[in-house]
């Protein structure tokens, strides 16, 4: 009886040790790893896993795109720059994380303020393209059509030197500039053709 009790205690202790183990944090996949996981899962007809891996690949690509877009934005002399952070945890809870990438930067210099918001890869912008293609509508709304090579923009100048510039690229990327204290010419000087040309690589078709 005593031997059986000892054996039971030993087995219980071993089970407790084995059962209570700390799990190391899961290592985040790199872009090549995520793409390879998606490929293997699809070939094995594990479609749920394939979709999850592709979503992770898209998330990683969006992060790289955000970094490249921010690096391509203008750096006007004398302005302080602040970029909005992306709350990946909050977006993941919505189930719609990274479907559309919104990138925002703020410029401040004394009484001058500029906010730039880039909406990338949005299918909804195809509907906005119709307005950019109609100069009459733009003029009636108080705007002016500006040409950036193959791309079009709408410039609006309000009271107190408040200016709004919207640049549409490839009918799916919108660069919206809202400036306080700057006239249209000053905004166009900062967000010039060279800037739009730089945005071709991170945005593109």
Pair 120, 183 in one domain = yes
C-alpha closest to that of 106 among 117, 97, 90, 120? 117
Among 5-9, 65-69, 111-115, 127-131, the range scoring the smallest mean pLDDT is 5-9
Burial state string for 62-76 with b = 16 or more CB within 10 A and e = fewer than 16 = beebbeebbebbbee
For the chain, what is the domain count?
A: 2
Among 19, 43, 72, give the residue marking a domain's end: 72
Pair 51, 152 in one domain = no
Pair 106, 49 in one domain = no
Q: What's the mean per-residue pLDDT of the chain? A: 86
pLDDT class of 163 with cuts at 50, 70, 90: very high
Q: What is the pLDDT of residue 107?
A: 98
Domain housing 42: 31-72
Alpha helices for the chain (secondary structure H):
2-19, 31-43, 47-72, 88-94, 125-132, 135-140, 184-190, 193-199
Pair 107, 168 in one domain = yes
Pair 88, 188 in one domain = yes
| pLDDT average, residue stretch 15-26 | 55
Q: What is the pLDDT of residue 7?
A: 45
Specify if 23 maps to a domain.
no
Pair 52, 118 in one domain = no
Residue 86 in this model has a pLDDT that exceeds 90: no
Q: What is the pLDDT of residue 100?
A: 60
| H helix and E strand count, the chain | 8, 7
Q: What is the pLDDT of residue 95?
A: 46
pLDDT class of 99 with cuts at 50, 70, 90: low
| pLDDT average, residue stretch 112-136 | 91
Pair 47, 139 in one domain = no
């Amino acid at each position: 009886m005593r031997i059986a009790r000892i054996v039971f205690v030993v087995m219980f202790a071993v089970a407790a040790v084995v059962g209570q183990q700390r799990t190391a944090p899961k290592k985040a996949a790199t872009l090549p790893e995520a793409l390879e996981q998606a490929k293997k899962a699809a070939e094995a007809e594990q479609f749920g896993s394939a979709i999850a891996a592709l979503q992770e690949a898209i998330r990683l690509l969006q992060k790289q795109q955000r970094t490249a877009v921010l690096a391509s934005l203008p750096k006007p002399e004398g302005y302080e720059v602040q970029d909005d952070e992306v709350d990946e945890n909050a977006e993941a809870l919505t189930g719609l994380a990274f479907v559309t990438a919104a990138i925002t930067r703020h410029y401040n210099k004394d009484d001058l303020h500029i906010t730039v918001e880039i909406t990338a890869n949005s299918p909804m912008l195809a509907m906005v393209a119709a307005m950019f293609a109609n100069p009459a509508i733009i003029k009636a709304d108080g705007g002016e059509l500006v040409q950036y090579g193959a791309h079009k923009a709408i410039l609006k100048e309000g009271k107190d030197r408040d200016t709004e510039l919207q640049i549409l690229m490839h009918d799916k990327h919108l660069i919206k500039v809202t400036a306080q204290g700057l006239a249209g010419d000053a905004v166009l000087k900062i967000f010039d053709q060279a800037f739009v040309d730089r945005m071709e690589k991170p945005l593109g078709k």
